[in-house]
Amino acid sequence: MDHLVLIIGSASGFGECLTKVVPDRLFESFDKDSQQVIHLVLVSRAFTFTENTTTNQNSNILKKYLCDNIDLANMNSCSYEKLLNQCKDIQNSTKNGLSSITLIHNAGTVGNLALKVEEYESACELVEYFNVNLVSFILLNSLLVRWAKSTSAKKIHVVQISSLLAIKAFSNWGLYAAAKAARDQIFAVMAAENPNSNNDSRLKFVSYAPGPLDNSLQQFVRKTLGDLQQKKLYTEMFESGNLVSMEASANVLMDLLVSDQYISGSHIDYYD
């Protein structure tokens, strides 16, 4: 059986962690007596396309496809079509089609954390931010979901990496919070547009907030955040070892996907 996992924003940080945890957890969940193939499509501006196939001890197979030039700031049809064609090629290479599809949206930027909302002045900067973090997300996600629905896959999970800031306001996070909240609501609407009926949960959407992760992005936040109270809190969490490890958070996400008990369109936090 063939399974496709696509991770957008996979070159570093939490995305890179997901590239290791997701296949391992999926292999653990499969029937040990049957051979499973995972096609892992990794997307980042930094990659040069290649393909690498490795075989596990239990005869399961992991195939990696690294796609470059998918620049979220440049929403041209050529880059999106390149990714879509890669997915179609994988689908066509299988004997019996894809059994499952997992799409994970992890790419994004935090914006200028030194500024409060009342200090925003550049329309160009606002447009660029929302093009990268919201408009491109909507367009690429819609393209991929349309393709996934057209396949014979029995299970389709669509994940976007969200944040507590999508549902709770904190000073200096205006752009980031607005984009995350909008992405959450887009997924809630898509879940309403694709309701599960007769216990059929083939297509499900989830916004997952991974918690305050111990990674380079959090280090950037501690250095640039304009709110001194939050900066102090994050610094204390880092120094006391209370930030969330990326591997622990990735495993919580996989618990959700493997158990498949979540409500489509929901926002779920690492601490829930």
262 or 74, greater pLDDT? 262
Assess whether pLDDT exceeds 90 at residue 251. yes
Write down all domains in the chain, each with its CATH number in brackets: 2-211+245-269 (3.40.50.720)
Assess whether pLDDT exceeds 80 at residue 72. no
pLDDT for res 222: 96
Residue 104 — φ and ψ, nearest 5°? -125, 120
Assess whether pLDDT exceeds 90 at residue 67. no
d(CA 20, CA 16) in angstroms, rounded, equals: 7
Percent share of the chain, pLDDT over 70: 92
pLDDT for res 59: 56
Question: 21: closest CA among 7, 34, 1?
Answer: 7
DSSP state, residue 134: I
Please list the residues that pair with 15 across neighbouring strands: none
d(CA 155, CA 200) in angstroms, rounded, equals: 10
pLDDT for res 201: 82
| pLDDT winner (highest mean) among 11-15, 63-67, 197-201, 207-211 | 207-211
User: Lowest-pLDDT range, 36-50, 119-133, 252-266?
Assistant: 36-50
pLDDT for res 169: 97
* pLDDT tier, 49 (very low <50, low <70, confident <90, very high otherwise): very low
CA dihedral sign of residues 243, 11, 94, 161: positive
What mean pLDDT is reported for the chain? 91
pLDDT for res 63: 93
Helix 136-150 with 174-193: angle, nearest 10 deg: 20
